Amino acid sequence: MTPVLELKNLSFVYGQGTPFEKCAVDNVSLKINKGEFIGIIGHTGSGKSTLVQMLNGLIKPTDGQVLLDGEDIWTNPKEIRKIRFKVGMVFQYPEYQLFEETVYKDIAFGPTNMGKTGDDLDKSVIKAAEFAGVKPELLQKSPFDLSGGEKRRAAIAGVIAMDPEVLVLDEPTAGLDPMGREILLSQITQYHKERKNTILLVSHSMEDIARVADRIIVMNDSHLVMFDKTKEVFSHGDELRKIGLKIPQITSIMQQLKSDGFNVPSGILTVDEAFEVIVSLLKKEEKLW
């Protein structure tokens, strides 16, 4: 099976040939399969954002290739817009991209650029709004009258409306309150379950990543450090700490318990899992008594 997205020796250097030359992504190679939910972590300036911007051809790699469904996206630079419809990209603070008179029109911007009209357009807008959790009564309002969280969801709907094969989200929950984060995250996982497309999520919240990602890409200092199953990555707590990252709190608690001699499995990622493990552990202890 060809992976939906493959990066081959991908590199990007900012300001090549000037004194401000800076390598942002250095020789990254990886394969992402269809339907996977990938988390991307790394501290600020590790090259995550540059990496994801190369995935839909917003910036052209200085070296290496991005293969979408086995084809180099830069084979035909004039057709790069088509790639952008296939690889949807939600930037940080996407609410700053809203510009239309109504939320409906703004969500329709992407699909209209794809050439959709009439019922087809209407259907994709309504569907996207539903996926992103934009209430139907908001669609005829001005996007500038919405609350912060509503704006964010409207902007995300604007990208989902293009129905991309691969959806990249760059810190979609940044700046939202805990409730808003929770809702948005479950909406994204719901969308992933229903659409069965590929999602890449960049986040600083290890808890969020642990909850939703199948595999994790760890970036440090423009290099790819790890690309493995979520459990595997978070069992390397020390290495992550070395590059300025953390593991989810609950994972580190369970690791502590383990090193204190309790019989718990490593790689516990969510509170629910931990709860199960601890309850069964307590039950065993009771039996012993």
Partner 1 sequence: MVRDVSFGQYFPGKSIIHRLDPRAKIIMFTAYLVIIFCTFNYISLAITTLFTVFYIGASGISPKFYFKSLKVIIFIVMITSLLNLFYGPGEPIWQWWVFKLTVNGINRALFVTVRIVCLILASSCLTFTTSPTELTDALERLMKPLNVIHFPVHEIAMMMSLALRFVPTLLEETDKIMQAQKARGADMDSGNLITKVKALIPILVPLFVSAFRRAYDIATAMECRCYRGGDGRTRMKSIHMVKRDVIAFLTLALIICGVILCNIFIPAVI
Binding mask 1-30 for partner 1 (x = CB under 8 A): ------------------x-----------
* Shortest Å distance, C-beta 33 to partner 1: 23
Sheet with 71-72: list strands edge to edge. Answer: 22-32, 5-14, 63-68, 71-72
Beta carbon of residue 176, minimum distance to partner 1 (angstroms, whole number): 18
x/- site string to partner 1, residues 209 to 228, per CB under 8 A?
--------------------
Q: Is 160 in the site for partner 1 (CB under 8 A)?
A: no
**Counting contacts by CB under 8 A, is residue 98 touching partner 1?**
yes
**25 close to 51: Cβ distance less than 8 angstroms:** yes
Query: b vs e for 190-219, b when ≥16 Cβ sit within 10 Å of the residue's Cβ?
Result: ebbeebebbbbbbbbbbbbbbbbbebbbbb
Using the rule CB under 8 A, is 134 a contact of partner 1?
no
Specify whether the CB–CB gap between 28 and 220 falls below 8 A.
Answer: no
Q: Rounded to an integer, what distance in angstroms lies between the CA atom of residue 121 and that of residue 220? A: 41
Shortest separation between residue 97's beta carbon and partner 1, angstroms: 4
Q: Is 74 in the site for partner 1 (CB under 8 A)?
A: no
Minimum Å gap between C-beta 63 and partner 1 is: 19
The size of the interface with partner 1 (CB under 8 A), counted in residues, is 23
Contact 268, 277 (CB under 8 A): yes
- CA 189, CA 136: separation in Å to the nearest integer? 21
Residue 91 or 227 having the CB closest to partner 1? 91
Q: What gap in Å lies between CA 37 and CA 48, rounded to an integer? A: 16
The reply to whether 64 sits near partner 1 by the rule CB under 8 A is: no
Selected range binding partner 1 among 78-86, 184-192, 223-231, 257-265, rule: CB under 8 A: 78-86
- Closest approach, Cβ 160 to partner 1, in A, equals 11
Tell me, rounded to whole angstroms, the distance of Cα 233 from its chain centroid: 16
Q: Give every CB contact of residue 45 below 8 A, 6+ residues apart in sequence.
A: none
Instruction: Give the number of other Cβ atoms within 10 Å of residue 137's Cβ.
Output: 7
Interaction of residue 234 with partner 1, rule CB under 8 A: no
Considering only residues 135 to 154 of the shown chain, the ones binding partner 1 according to CB under 8 A are: 144
Q: Is 196 within 8 Å of 189 (Cβ atoms)? A: no
Q: Which is nearer to partner 1, 96 or 275 (CB)?
A: 96
**Residues forming the site for partner 1 (CB under 8 A):** 19, 53, 56, 58, 81, 84-85, 88-89, 91, 94, 96-99, 109-110, 113-114, 144, 158-159, 162
